[in-house]
Structure 1
Amino acid sequence: MTRTVVIGGGFAGLATAGLLAQDGHRVTLLEQQDILGGRSGRWSAEGFSFDTGPSWYLMPEVIDRWFRLMGSSAAAELDLRTLSPGYRTFFEEHLDEPPTDVVSGHAEELFEQLDPGSSRALRMYLDSGAEVYELAKKYFLYTDFAHPRELMTPQVLKNLPRLGTLLTRSMKGYIDQRFTDPRERQILGYPAVFLGASPSSAPAMYHLMSHLDLTDGVQYPVGGFSALVDAMAELVRAAGVEIVTGATVTGIDVERAPRSVRSQVAAARSRRRSAGSVRGVRYRATSSASNAPRTAADGAETTVPADLVVGATDLHHIQTRLLPERYRAPESRWKRRDPGPSGVLVCLGVRGKLPQLAHHNLLFTADWDDNFARIGTGRELAEETSIYVSMTSATDPATAPEGDENLFILVPAPAVPEWGRGGISTPERHEPGSEQVERVADAAVAQLARWAKIPDLESRVVVRRTYGPGDFVAQFNAWRGSLLGPGHTLGQSAMLRPGVTDPGIRGLFYAGSSVRPGIGVPMCLISSQVVWDAIREDSGVS
Structure 2
Amino acid sequence: MKTAGVVGAGIGGIAAAIRLAVKGYRVEVFEGNSYPGGKLSSFEINGYRFDAGPSLFTMPQLVDDLFRLAGKNPTDYFQYQKLPETCRYFYEDGTRFTADAEPALLAKTIEKYLGEPAEQVLAHLRDSAVKYEVTEKLFLHRSLHKVGTYFNRDALKGYLNLGKLDAFRSMNQANSSRFTDPRAVQLFNRYATYNGSDPYQTPATMNIIPHLEYNIGAFFPKGGMVAITNSLVKLAEDLGVTFHYTSPVEKLLIDGKRISGVQVKGEALSYDIVISNMDVVNTFRKLLPDARQPERILRQPKSSSALIFYWGVKKQFPELGLHNIFFSKDYATEFHHIFQQKTIHHDPTVYINITAKYEPNDAPAGGENWFVMVNAPANDGQDWGTLIAETRQNILTKISRQLGENIETLIEAEDVLDPRLIESRTSSSQGALYGNSSNNRFAAFLRHANFSRQFNNLYFVGGSVHPGGGVPLCLLSAKIATEMVK
- Matched residues in 2 for 1:452 and 1:162: separation? 46
Distance 1:186 1:352, change over 3 A: same
Deviation of 1:366 after TM superposition, in Å, equals 2.3
Match of 1:427 in 2: none
**1:401 alignment partner AA:** P
Q: Pick from 365, 371, 386: which aligns with 1:402? A: 365
Distance 1:163 1:347, change over 3 A: same
Identity %: 25
Q: Do 2:334 and 2:347's aligned partners in 1 also have CA atoms closer than 8 Å?
A: no
Please give the residue correspondences for 1:138-537 in structure 2 after superposition, counting only pairs within 5 Å: 138-153=137-152, 156-160=155-159, 162-164=161-163, 165-256=165-256, 276-284=257-265, 301-330=266-295, 334-335=298-299, 337-419=300-382, 434-453=385-404, 455-491=405-441, 493-536=443-486
**1:498 alignment partner AA:** H
Match of 1:87 in 2: 87
**2:469 alignment partner AA:** I
**2:402 alignment partner AA:** W
Q: Deviations over 1:179-217 (max 9, x none)?
A: 111121122121110111011222222212112222332
Worse-matched range after superposition: 195-204 or 222-231: 195-204
Q: Deviations over 1:235-255 (max 9, x none)?
A: 001111110000121110101
- Matched residues in 2 for 1:115 and 1:437: separation? 33
Q: Deviations over 1:19-69 (max 9, x none)?
A: 101111121100111010011131201111000111101112222222322
Match of 2:123 in 1: 124
- Matched residues in 2 for 1:71 and 1:201: separation? 44
Q: Do 1:254 and 1:279's aligned partners in 2 also have CA atoms closer than 8 Å?
A: yes
Distance 1:136 1:195, change over 3 A: same
Distance 1:162 1:451, change over 3 A: farther
Deviation of 1:70 after TM superposition, in Å, equals 2.5
Q: Deviations over 1:67-118 (max 9, x none)?
A: 32222354442231222321101112x22x4x21101112211222145462
3-state SS in 2 of match to 1:246:
coil
3-state SS in 1 of match to 2:381:
helix
3-state SS in 2 of match to 1:16:
helix
- Matched residues in 2 for 1:507 and 1:374: separation? 42
Q: What TM-score does the superposition give when structure 2 sets the normalisation length?
A: 0.94
Match of 1:49 in 2: 49
Deviation of 1:315 after TM superposition, in Å, equals 0.6
Q: Deviations over 1:477-510 (max 9, x none)?
A: 2111213322233245434422101111121110
Q: Do 1:7 and 1:31's aligned partners in 2 also have CA atoms closer than 8 Å?
A: yes
**1:145 alignment partner AA:** L
Q: Deviations over 1:302-337 (max 9, x none)?
A: 22212211011111001111104143344x7533x1
Worse-matched range after superposition: 526-535 or 156-165: 156-165
**1:483 alignment partner AA:** L
Q: Do 1:321 and 1:328's aligned partners in 2 also have CA atoms closer than 8 Å?
A: no
Q: Do 1:114 and 1:184's aligned partners in 2 also have CA atoms closer than 8 Å?
A: no
- Matched residues in 1 for 2:73 and 2:207: separation? 28
Distance 1:389 1:304, change over 3 A: same
3-state SS in 2 of match to 1:67:
helix
- Matched residues in 2 for 1:326 and 1:379: separation? 31
**2:131 alignment partner AA:** V
- Matched residues in 2 for 1:34 and 1:142: separation? 32
- Matched residues in 2 for 1:334 and 1:166: separation? 27
Distance 1:168 1:74, change over 3 A: farther
Q: Do 2:433 and 2:469's aligned partners in 1 also have CA atoms closer than 8 Å?
A: no
Q: Unaligned 5+ residue runs, structure 1? A: 257-275, 285-300, 422-433, 537-542
Q: Do 1:167 and 1:490's aligned partners in 2 also have CA atoms closer than 8 Å?
A: no
3-state SS in 2 of match to 1:506:
coil
Deviation of 1:369 after TM superposition, in Å, equals 0.9
3-state SS in 2 of match to 1:177:
helix
Distance 1:187 1:48, change over 3 A: same
Distance 1:226 1:476, change over 3 A: same
3-state SS in 1 of match to 2:166:
helix
**2:267 alignment partner AA:** T
Q: Do 1:513 and 1:524's aligned partners in 2 also have CA atoms closer than 8 Å?
A: yes
**1:110 alignment partner AA:** T
- Matched residues in 2 for 1:379 and 1:328: separation? 26
Match of 2:33 in 1: 33
Q: Do 1:252 and 1:324's aligned partners in 2 also have CA atoms closer than 8 Å?
A: no
- Matched residues in 2 for 1:399 and 1:73: separation? 27
Q: Do 2:135 and 2:158's aligned partners in 1 also have CA atoms closer than 8 Å?
A: no
Deviation of 1:396 after TM superposition, in Å, equals 1.1
- Matched residues in 2 for 1:50 and 1:187: separation? 26
Deviation of 1:169 after TM superposition, in Å, equals 2.9
Q: Unaligned 5+ residue runs, structure 2? A: none
**1:456 alignment partner AA:** N
Distance 1:498 1:457, change over 3 A: same
Q: Do 1:144 and 1:530's aligned partners in 2 also have CA atoms closer than 8 Å?
A: yes
Distance 1:517 1:72, change over 3 A: same
Give the number of aligned pairs. Answer: 483
Distance 1:475 1:420, change over 3 A: farther
**1:316 alignment partner AA:** V
- Matched residues in 2 for 1:75 and 1:168: separation? 43
Q: Do 1:344 and 1:466's aligned partners in 2 also have CA atoms closer than 8 Å?
A: yes
Distance 1:21 1:149, change over 3 A: closer
Q: What TM-score does the superposition give when structure 1 sets the normalisation length?
A: 0.85
Distance 1:217 1:380, change over 3 A: same
Q: Do 1:350 and 1:407's aligned partners in 2 also have CA atoms closer than 8 Å?
A: yes
Please give the residue correspondences for 1:50-69 in structure 2 after superposition, counting only pairs within 5 Å: 50-69=50-69
